[in-house]
Amino acid sequence: MRALLLGSGGRESALAWALHGSSSVDDLVVAPGNPGIARIARTAGVDPTDARSVVKLASEIDADLVVIGPEAPLVAGVGDALRAEGRSVFGPSASAARIEGSKTFAKDLMDRTGIPTARWGAFTDVHKAVAFMDELGPPYVTKADGLAAGKGVVVTPERGAALEAIQECLVHGKFGASGRSVVVEEFLSGEEVSLIALTDGETVRACEPAQDYKRALEDDRGPNTGGMGSYSPVPMCPEGLAQSVADEVIEPMVRATCAAAGPFIGAIYAGLVLTSQGAKVLEFNARFGDPETQALVPRLISDFGEVCMACAHGRLSEIELEWRADKCVSIVLAAGGYPGGYAKGIEITGVEAAARCEGVQIFHAGTATQDGKLVTNGGRVLNVSALGATFEQARSRAYEAAALIHFEGKRMRSDIALKAEKLERAEAQ
Ligand code: AMP
Ligand code: GLY
């Protein structure tokens, strides 16, 4: 089949690699892609959120399947426009993608469906928001209702900081329309796990659990980022948890979303907290996680193109997902200064040497080509993923490969999957 993939980040690099490795895919085009993707696929300089241009490109290449990576094209209705033209699409409709685009929409559905989640309220009035916040007590959690590029969430033990966050949304309009309404919710305490499932709107197939690292610095200190690394599987996850969450949380959510907003086809991401009262949902996303996908895809044995096609055609019940027992660890190499301001256009060397290391895959995220050289072009520059029989082996392979890559200001967290490795070692004793 001819497949078209939309997006240009680390997640899309991993998805492109999986599609490229699928025996069912003989031609792959990625829009817009990046220099890493360009090594394994044709790239097209088309804005993935511009529905007309994407429909035109899909028609030009006569795509049998379109896989949508990021949320922005979903929310912009690109999936709907493609389906209206008769294309097979892996990615939900704009209205179903509201499980990610609107926290109120998602929370309402969770409550109606009895899905365990943090107590919450949505407010446009500062006084009412603060009264509810005081009722819940610290630590405080406030969120801009709409998409805010991962920057709309504040979790703080300090009442003053929470108050400021509410005022920034409702009074100062910091997040524009996305922050016109504020969600205040109960703080959930426990291990965070990402569970991504694939669905054709009926059948739900869970991927293996993964965990990401949101904070910039070791020991989960420093500001939130788009993700500094990930690993899979998650040894802290009790046996059978993925299946029970898929059956009791994700499947009901897919059904409720389909009933409220039309077919949900694609990846659904449940951000979970393993609380003392069981798994509770922090959030749903309407797409694969970034950077979780970079640690999941190397473990997938099944033909990814065929799985996506089965989702698009309502045939997922015919397919089981198969995974390697190997562990996968994925490290993000970030630009100096990220998640604050950072420079672009800095030369990167050593990627080829790193890619030759055993078990290692390099996924580009924020890179570009300038005068024939590979340069940085974003905050998160590269993902170094490595498979290993143990977390210890996967970690040492990933860190050895990461050490071969150089660019001025390069930084990474040194503790990605360290707790998994420690648990593994303790269990072996
Ligand atoms: P989000 O942008 O919604 O993914 O939230 C970013 C991060 O904030 C999450 O990964 C959690 O670590 C934290 N967070 C969000 N909501 C809560 C909550 N209700 N309780 C505890 N931590 C939370
Ligand atoms: N890793 C978090 C996300 O993709 O939203």
**What pLDDT, on the 0 to 100 scale, is given for residue 145?**
77
Distance 141 CA to ligand 1 centre (A): 8
> Which atom of ligand 2 approaches the CA of 214 most closely?
1
> Which atom of ligand 2 approaches the CA of 291 most closely?
1
384, amino acid identity: V
Residues 6+ apart with CB under 8 A from 172: none
**What pLDDT, on the 0 to 100 scale, is given for residue 262?**
86
Per-chain mean pLDDT for the chain: 95
Q: Is the CB of 292 under 6 A from ligand 2?
A: yes
Rama region for 129: left / alpha / beta (φ>0; ψ in -120 to 50; rest):
alpha
| Overall average pLDDT of the 146-159 stretch | 77
How many Å apart are CA 269 and CA 266, to the nearest integer? Answer: 10
Look up the CATH number of domain 120-185.
Answer: 3.30.1490.20
Q: Return the best residue to mutate from 155, 191, 285, 292 for the ligand 1 pocket (most ligand atoms within 8 A of CB).
A: 155
> Which atom of ligand 2 approaches the CA of 283 most closely?
5
> Does 417 or 173 have the greater pLDDT score?
417
Residues spanned by CATH 3.40.50.20 within the chain?
2-91
**What pLDDT, on the 0 to 100 scale, is given for residue 406?**
98
Distance 300 CA to ligand 1 centre (A): 28
Token pair for residue 247? Answer: 């059956």
Dihedral (CA of 73, 74, 78, 82) sign = positive
> Which atom of ligand 2 approaches the CA of 287 most closely?
4
Task: Convert the pLDDT of each residue in 191-235 to its tens digit.
Answer: 999 999 999 999 999 999 999 999 999 999 998 899 999 999 999
**What pLDDT, on the 0 to 100 scale, is given for residue 146?**
66
Task: Convert the pLDDT of each residue in 314-340 to its tens digit.
Answer: 999 999 999 999 999 999 999 999 999
**What pLDDT, on the 0 to 100 scale, is given for residue 139?**
96
Contact (CB, 8 A) for 16 and 4 = no
Q: At 270, is the secondary structure helix, strand, or coil?
A: strand
Q: Is the CB of 290 under 6 A from ligand 2?
A: yes
CATH topology of domain 189-318: D-amino Acid Aminotransferase; Chain A, domain 1 (3.30.470)
Task: Convert the pLDDT of each residue in 378-416 to its tens digit.
Answer: 999 999 999 999 999 999 999 999 999 999 999 999 999
Q: Is the pLDDT of residue 128 over 90?
A: yes
CATH topology of domain 327-428: Glycinamide Ribonucleotide Synthetase; Chain A, domain 4 (3.90.600)
| Second-level CATH architecture of 2-91 | 3-Layer(aba) Sandwich (3.40)
**What pLDDT, on the 0 to 100 scale, is given for residue 148?**
58
| Overall average pLDDT of the 57-77 stretch | 97
Task: Convert the pLDDT of each residue in 11-22 to its tens digit.
Answer: 999 999 999 999
Task: Convert the pLDDT of each residue in 283-311 to its tens digit.
Answer: 999 999 999 999 999 999 999 999 999 99
Contact (CB, 8 A) for 280 and 117 = yes
Contact (CB, 8 A) for 261 and 96 = yes
CA neighbor of 272 nearest in space, from 321, 198, 225, 211:
211
pLDDT band at 150 (very low <50, low <70, confident <90, very high): low
| Overall average pLDDT of the 74-90 stretch | 97
Q: At 89, is the secondary structure helix, strand, or coil?
A: strand
Q: Is the pLDDT of residue 181 over 90?
A: no
Q: Whose CA is nearest to atom 4 of ligand 2?
A: 289
Distance 151 CA to ligand 1 centre (A): 11
Q: Match 């939900």 to its residue by tokens.
A: 92
**What pLDDT, on the 0 to 100 scale, is given for residue 428?**
87
Q: Whose CA is nearest to atom 19 of ligand 1?
A: 187
Q: Whose CA is nearest to atom 16 of ligand 1?
A: 282
Q: At 239, is the secondary structure helix, strand, or coil?
A: coil
Range list of β-strands (E), 95-170: 120-123, 140-144, 153-156
Distance 315 CA to ligand 2 centre (A): 27
Q: Whose CA is nearest to atom 17 of ligand 1?
A: 187
**What pLDDT, on the 0 to 100 scale, is given for residue 263?**
86
Q: Is the CB of 294 under 6 A from ligand 2?
A: no
Q: Whose CA is nearest to atom 13 of ligand 1?
A: 155
How many C-beta atoms surround the C-beta of residue 225 within 10 A? 22
Q: Is the CB of 227 under 6 A from ligand 2?
A: yes
Bridge partners (DSSP) listed for residue 367: 376
Q: Is the CB of 289 under 6 A from ligand 2?
A: yes
Token pair for residue 261? Answer: 């907003």
**What pLDDT, on the 0 to 100 scale, is given for residue 81?**
98
Token pair for residue 358? Answer: 């055993």
**What pLDDT, on the 0 to 100 scale, is given for residue 219?**
96
Contact (CB, 8 A) for 400 and 365 = no
Token pair for residue 267? Answer: 């990846």
Residues spanned by CATH 3.30.1490.20 within the chain?
120-185
Q: Is the pLDDT of residue 147 over 80?
A: no
Distance 282 CA to ligand 1 centre (A): 6
Q: Is the CB of 100 under 6 A from ligand 2?
A: no
Q: Is the CB of 71 under 6 A from ligand 2?
A: no
**What pLDDT, on the 0 to 100 scale, is given for residue 178?**
62
Residues spanned by CATH 3.30.470.20 within the chain?
189-318
Q: Which residues line ligand 1 (CB under 6 A)?
A: 118, 141, 150, 153, 155, 185-188, 192, 214, 271, 282-283
Rounded to 5 degrees, φ, ψ at 298 are: -65, -20
Percent of the chain with pLDDT over 70: 98
Residues spanned by CATH 3.90.600.10 within the chain?
327-428
**What pLDDT, on the 0 to 100 scale, is given for residue 362?**
98
> Which atom of ligand 1 approaches the CA of 118 most closely?
19
How many Å apart are CA 234 and CA 231, to the nearest integer? Answer: 7
Q: Return the best residue to mutate from 102, 140, 153, 178 for the ligand 1 pocket (most ligand atoms within 8 A of CB).
A: 153
How many Å apart are CA 78 and CA 329, to the nearest integer? Answer: 32
Distance 46 CA to ligand 2 centre (A): 24
